[in-house]
Amino acid sequence: MGNVTVIGAQWGDEGKGKVIDWLADRADVVVRFQGGNNAGHTIVVGNTEYRFSLLPSGVAQGKLSVIGNGVVVDPWSLLDEIARVQGQGLAITPQVLALADAAALVLPLHRDLDAAREARAGAGKIGTTGRGIGPAYEDKVGRRAIRFCDLGDPAALETKIERLLAHHQPLRRGLDLPEVTAEAVLSQLEEIAPRVLPFVQPSWRVLDRAAKAGQRVLFEGAQAVMLDVDHGTYPFVTSSNTVAGQAAAGSGVGPRATGYVLGIVKAYTTRVGEGPFPCELKDEIGERIGQRGAEFGTVTGRKRRCGWFDAVLVRQSVAVSGVDGVALTKLDVLDGLETLKICVGYRLGDRILDYLPAGLSDQAAVTPIYEEIEGWSQVTHKARSWRDLPAAAVKYVRRIEELIGAQIALVTTSPDRDDVIMMRDPFRG
């Protein structure tokens, strides 16, 4: 049995948490490899709902969980999350959680910058989660980030803070933000250091050991391919690579170790924040899908924009991320709709496109070409076998499979852990 990498194949919020939780049951190690506390994965176990933001979803099952070097970590948010889930009965100890020594930190000054820029951008705002993710990745790439390993080296930490502030003070002045002092940043970091350092280690070694012991690893992606900084709807994207290829670089394993790539795909499309969305429905059907699907962000509570299934977009995600198979989620949300539409191409002026172009103005100008397909009146909610699905729902799933060019491995029909129809076991490839 091999490893599995799970990624979102639309604009996020595809229901990755539930699928990851389901797969984590059979994994030995669960790894986050990008993003930060902009992510929100919800898992329902019996009557308990866990909301994970930075913690790998494997902690719900006591699996060894790794926050890889590719993640940017807000340590205060992490400590809050640990306290919250411990309050729900999960034990988060250094035996269960490893934090990459090379992971860059998200500091309060990153959140300040994120908020100030968004506030000034007016209509051009990205609609970020406001967690400071973009500014933190900028500092990482700019080689001035504070990393977990720095917290254990107080002498070097002071110099690093000076270097970081030499960059931030002029930015803050330009945005009318108050100056921050090196002493203040140092004392904040000194306060949290003893609380996080017990978890910090060279996490690539943890994964190397796991590989040598023949353990099964689940790589847990956050956000989604259309929010990837290279492959998404730039600049309306997040600041990390979200494609499956990042699982290797963001955790410190070779590219072959990432195994079967499972793309999570919702049976319709949603997007939160600004940016192009060709299949968006601004009518009562969009409203109905949003209500039935409870389409409100787990991180910011924002209402998600809803639309028909866009097969062009997902086919593109399948290609750029090397998706082997797909988990189709929230099929039950479409129960009771008389007719469904699937986007099979775009019109751009007098051209017909079978892909989403890279330029923002083209992305905003494309209009969807729809194929209509019959809906179903029966209930698919909580179906656990292919036989439980009405014929029209089976036809819808099969048509999606054909259009996106990847097998449907799983179908989920409720937020409940066990309501999954498995056609193919991702761990068996």
- Provide the binding-site residues for ligand IMP, judged by CB under 6 A: 12-13, 38-40, 126-129, 131, 133-134, 222-223, 227, 236, 238-239, 272-273
Q: What's the closest the beta carbon of residue 114 comes to ligand IMP, in angstroms? A: 7
Q: What's the closest the beta carbon of residue 268 comes to ligand IMP, in angstroms? A: 15
Q: What's the closest the beta carbon of residue 20 comes to ligand IMP, in angstroms? A: 13
Report the residue number, 60 or 200, with the smaller CB distance to ligand IMP.
60
Tell which residue, 226, 263, 218, has the closest CA to residue 409: 263
* CA 27 vs CA 31, 57, 63, 64, 159: distances in Å: 10, 11, 8, 9, 41
Tell me how far apart the alpha carbons of residues 207 and 250 are, in angstroms, rounded to a whole number: 12
Tell which residue, 238, 206, 218, 233, has the closest CA to residue 72: 238
Report the residue number, 223 or 413, with the smaller CB distance to ligand IMP.
223
Backbone φ and ψ of 265, nearest 5° = -135, 125
Cα angle for residues 52, 57, 63 (degrees, 5° grid): 140
Where does residue 421 rank: exposed (0-12), middle (13-18), buried (19+ CB within 10 A)? buried
Strand 420-422: give its sheet, edge to edge. Answer: 200-201, 97-100, 64-67, 29-32, 217-220, 4-8, 260-266, 325-329, 407-412, 420-422
Q: What's the closest the beta carbon of residue 347 comes to ligand IMP, in angstroms? A: 25
Report the residue number, 127 or 375, with the smaller CB distance to ligand IMP.
127
Report the residue number, 58 or 273, with the smaller CB distance to ligand IMP.
273
Report the residue number, 85 or 224, with the smaller CB distance to ligand IMP.
224
Report the residue number, 277 or 308, with the smaller CB distance to ligand IMP.
277
Tell which residue, 286, 292, 272, 260, has the closest CA to residue 413: 292
Residue with tokens 């908020």, as numbered in its chain: 115
Tell me how far apart the alpha carbons of residues 406 and 320 are, in angstroms, rounded to a whole number: 13
CB-facing half-sphere around the CA of 127: CA atoms within 13 A: 19
List active site positions.
13, 41
Q: What's the closest the beta carbon of residue 29 comes to ligand IMP, in angstroms? A: 22
Q: What's the closest the beta carbon of residue 294 comes to ligand IMP, in angstroms? A: 14
Tell me how far apart the alpha carbons of residues 146 and 103 are, in angstroms, rounded to a whole number: 9
Report the residue number, 54 or 318, with the smaller CB distance to ligand IMP.
54
Q: What's the closest the beta carbon of residue 371 comes to ligand IMP, in angstroms? A: 27
Encoded tokens for 28: 């030995």
Q: By three-state DSSP, how is residue 57 classified?
A: helix
